[in-house]
Every structure is written in C-alpha cells, then in structure tokens.
Amino acid sequence: MAVPGILRRSDATIAAAGRMVRGALSNGFIVLLGLVVSGLMLAVTGADVVAAVDALVGGSVGSPEAIRQSLIQAVPILIAGLGVSFALRAGLVNIGADGQLYIGALFASVVAIFGPPLPWPVAPVAMLGAATIGGLLWGALPGWMRGRLGMSEVITTLLLNFVAFWIVSWAVHGPINDPAGGGYPWTPEVPGVARLAVIRLGGFFIPSGLILGMLIAAAISFVLHRTNFGFELRVVGDSPAAARWAGVNVPRRIIQTLAVSGALAGIAGAAELAGNQYRLSDFFSPGFGFTALVVALVGGATPSGTVAAALFFGALAAGGGSMERIAQVPASTGLVVQGTVIAILVASRSAAAHSFLTRIRRRTARTSRGQT
C-alpha cells in the first residue's frame, strides 16, 4: 500500500520540478529578450553596443574585484527580493520594501552607532535584530490595514515608502547627523566591530551578507514547503475563499506575511549599511526595494529563482558604472534594462498574451492533426 503513495508523491515532485524548470526557462528568455531590446535602444541612440556590452561584462564578472562588487550590489536586492517573493506567494504585492529597508537601516544605525559598545559578533547580530524589528513593524502596519480594514496593500505599502524616507531624512539631518560631517545629511560611520565580514576564498571575496541571503532563501523554502504556516500561506495566495472554508485565519496570515516580508527588507537595509555604505544617508537606497520587486517577479516568486535574478541584477548594477566610464554609456542604462524586462514580463503574463498563445497552440494542434 505504501508504494502507490510513494509513486504519487514522486510524480508530484517531478511535476513541480518540471513547472519550476519551465518557469526558469521562460523568465530567462524574458531577461534575454529585455537585454536584446535594450541593446537595440542603445544602437538607436548611436552608442557603441559592442563596447558597452564588453564594459558591462568586464565590470561585472571580468575580475575578482568586479565579481566582489557584483555580489555586494546583489545583497540588498536579494534579501529584500526574498521578502517580496514571500508576500507574493500569499497573493500580496509588497511595493513598500524600499521604505521597510530604510526603517530597518535606521533601527540598525541607532543600535550600532548610538547604542552601548558591543563586542563582535554581538554587534552585527544586534544590528540585524534591530533592523528585523524595524522592518517587521513597518510591514505589519500595511498588513493590519489589509487584513483588518480591507485596504489595498499595493497603495498602503507604496505610500509608506515616502513616510519612511522622510523619517530617515529628518533623522540624518537632525538627531543622528554626524557632527563632523560638514553638514552632509548622514550618520557617523558604523564601527568596525559591527560591520559584516568579507570571506576570502582563494582570490575571490564573498560578502557575508550574500551568505546570509542564501540562508534566508533556504529557510523560506523550508517554511513554504515543510510547515503548516507555509501551506496555509500558499492556500491564501491561491484562493482566500478556500482558505477561509478550510478554517485558516486569513487576516492573521496576511498580517504575518507582510510582517515577515517587511522584516526581510529591514534586514536588507542592515546588510547594506554594515556591509557596504557604513553610513545611513539621505538617499541611502537608490531604489533597492523597487529592484527587489523586479527580482521577485523575474525569479517567479521562488527562493531559488529570486537568488538567480538578484545575482543577475547585481551584476547589471556593478557593470553599469563600467559602461559609463569606458563606453560613455549612461549608468542608468541598467535601469532601462530593468524597466524593459519588467514590461516584457508583465506583458507575457497578461490575459491578452495568454489568450493569444492559447489560440496559437490550438491552431498548431489542429494543423498537426490534419497532417497526420
């Protein structure tokens, strides 16, 4: 009797793996198409596309230092992207990762810079813990508004980005401003004992924030597929009505999901603060949270896909500077690529595209049957 059950589970696992592979191939094709379209746009402007691509590759993976910079750029969008993808699995669109990242970095900087001196490794752990609390609170707020008041999390998370930014802006101009900073809106530097270490492997340097992101990805995968909470979360994402019928407390799960999503974005802020910039400034984030949304979508809202997409966009961000220096191509070209990819991704998922592809498949099937 056990054999059929094992076979059914095996078939389900194989089917899930097949869907994952097909999704990865589909998203990979979309990214490739986005790169091609972006290259055509550069060619139209008169830029040397070959030189730009060469500079992009060289600046992202052309040397150990380039790889290190790519990995550093990938850390915040990876961790925040995991938070966004976690929310997406529950059918929730968290556009507030940037604000949650700011609040997490604010909590982390207060603990690391203005709190009592702490030894290593207590100091970085305390920073990450404080950032987790800050991001969790900032994510739970729109979660409560969605779960208890029925307000759209798309609107509330988006608007809270601005609130978070101005809170941080006020703080770095005022109470936590560096008195020796010449009036520049930033905090004093994070003490060396609180910074995230860089691990050396041969000639390569791996930021520990990346390892932290990989561990978070593994933990999310376990929660989603091996716990009752993860199962209920996915049911809420597939059908809230079915979840209610099964006895799931949907409002509570919504609040918990957005709280976890915000907590991960807060950790991303601490990882960027302690692993790269070392100061919280007025424009601390160049849009990490919005790139995290792109990363989560391109990654199919799966931990493994989000990791792969974050590494790609990290390399894109690192290579953008090289394109500007070497090929005289604006570094914002990377943003053009991101925008193109997300536009193609949304178009490919639209109802019109699905209907068109369905008609093509049916027509092809009828033609093949007629030939046979």
How many whole angstroms from its chain centre is CA 70?
15
| Segments forming the whole domain that contains residue 97 | 48-347
Cβ–Cβ contacts within 10 Å for residue 329, how many?
A: 23
| Distance separating alpha carbons of residues 143 and 226, to the nearest angstrom | 24
Summarised one tens digit per residue, pLDDT across range 268-308 is: 999 999 999 999 998 999 889 999 998 998 888 899 999 99
Residue 13 reports pLDDT greater than 90? no
The pLDDT-based confidence of 356 (bands split at 50, 70, 90) is low
Report, as an integer, the average pLDDT of 100-113: 96
Report, as an integer, the average pLDDT of 357-365: 62
Domain presence at residue 20? no
SS (H, E, C) 28-76: HHHHHHHHHHHHHHHHHCCCCHHHHHHHHHHHHHCCHHHHHHHHHHHHH
Summarised one tens digit per residue, pLDDT across range 126-142 is: 999 999 999 999 999 99
To the nearest 5 percent, what fractions of the chain are helix, strand and coil?
80, 5, 20
Domain presence at residue 24? no
Give how many domains the chain has, as a whole number: 1
Closest CA to 288 of 304, 267, 257, 260: 267
Cβ–Cβ contacts within 10 Å for residue 256, how many?
A: 20
Buried b (16+ CB within 10 A) or exposed e, 69-79: bbbbbbbbbbb
| Distance separating alpha carbons of residues 355 and 335, to the nearest angstrom | 30
Q: How many helices (H) and strands (E) does the chain have?
A: 14, 2
Q: In the numeric block, which tokens belong to residue 156?
A: 């509330």
Q: Radius of gyration (Cα) for the chain, nearest Å?
A: 22
**Do 78 and 306 touch, CB atoms closer than 8 A?**
yes
The pLDDT-based confidence of 14 (bands split at 50, 70, 90) is very low
Report, as an integer, the average pLDDT of 189-213: 91
How many whole angstroms from its chain centre is CA 87?
11
Domain presence at residue 124? yes
Q: In the numeric block, which tokens belong to residue 56?
A: 């992009």
Q: Is 150 left (phi over 0), alpha (psi -120 to 50) or beta?
A: left
Report, as an integer, the average pLDDT of 193-212: 90
Residue 121, preceding peptide bond in cis (omega within 30° of 0) = yes
The pLDDT-based confidence of 351 (bands split at 50, 70, 90) is low
How many whole angstroms from its chain centre is CA 156?
19
**Do 272 and 76 touch, CB atoms closer than 8 A?**
yes
Domain presence at residue 371? no
Higher pLDDT, 107 or 29: 107
Domain presence at residue 25? no
| Distance separating alpha carbons of residues 115 and 105, to the nearest angstrom | 14
What is the sign, positive or negative, of the torsion defined by CA atoms of 101, 104, 105, 106? positive
Closest CA to 153 of 97, 209, 72: 97
How many whole angstroms from its chain centre is CA 237?
19
Domain presence at residue 319? yes
| Distance separating alpha carbons of residues 78 and 94, to the nearest angstrom | 15
Summarised one tens digit per residue, pLDDT across range 54-98 is: 887 888 888 888 999 999 999 999 999 999 999 999 999 999 999
The pLDDT assigned to 87 comes to 96
The pLDDT-based confidence of 12 (bands split at 50, 70, 90) is very low
Q: In 227-350, where does DSSP find H-type helix?
A: 228-238, 240-245, 250-272, 288-298, 303-326, 333-349
Domain presence at residue 34? no
| Distance separating alpha carbons of residues 83 and 294, to the nearest angstrom | 12
Angle subtended at Cα 297 by Cα 292 and Cα 299, rounded to the nearest 5 degrees: 90
- In the chain, what percentage of residues exceed pLDDT 70? 81
The pLDDT-based confidence of 9 (bands split at 50, 70, 90) is very low
Domain presence at residue 36? no
Q: What is the CATH number of the domain that holds 187?
A: 1.10.3470
How many whole angstroms from its chain centre is CA 173?
28
Higher pLDDT, 348 or 184: 184
